A and B are shown apart, each in its own frame.
Chain A
């Protein structure tokens, strides 16, 4: 059972805007910065969002936000290459550990 809860799957068509969510509590998301990692076809994870900041090389179609104990990753103008598994992660104060969500499989129709 993951400390953070994500949708198991989300789908969208090319050009559409989709939002992935990550829900936790005040011991984790409510207090600490959330990161998002993209994993294409079980390859190496790639960092696509740190809080609401884009790492170098990540298109500005990606944006991040947080409200209370829920973080969100929004992808606008969805592209075929965005099809991947997305994991959220942060620090959990009560567990004294880095925690991940279970991952969301994004399908681009």
Chain B
């Protein structure tokens, strides 16, 4: 059974750093692409970052230069290092697995339950 469990969220002051983890089971993260998607309070979903099976990484314009996605194959875990945090980064952060099909590679088939990040002084 595919499972994604996020952790590492919490309250942090503006300018601070936080590292989120996404522990996967039931599949191998290195064989799939993995993304982070966030949802601000009472707002919609927003794609944040992706790491492909080959290791390439991409980011949304709103987090580029501040966030870094990575993975540890030995732990089957994906991370999101968040630096220079701003109030507008406050959101629930979801980990999601990408679909392997070439026609739907930009979509997701499994999601985690999310972890809440609150940036506030």
Contacts and interface: CB of A to CB of B under 8 A. Distances in A.
Contact of A45 (B45, B58, B99, B101): B45
Main SS at interface, chain B: strand
A44 B108 contact: no
Contact of B107 (A43, A46, A89, A97): A89
Interface of B: 35, 37, 39, 44-47, 50, 58, 60-61, 92, 94, 96, 99, 101, 103-104, 106-114
Given A44-B113, A44-B114, A45-B94, A100 B46 contact: yes
Interface string A71-109: 000000000000000010111000011111111000000
A47 B107 CA distance: 9
Contacts of A37: 45, 108, 111
Given A51-B103, A97-B58, A97-B60, 18 more contacts: A33-B107, A44-B94, A44-B111, A44-B112, A44-B114, A45-B108, A45-B111, A51-B104, A55-B109, A87-B45, A89-B106, A89-B107, A90-B106, A90-B107, A96-B58, A99-B47, A100-B47, A102-B44
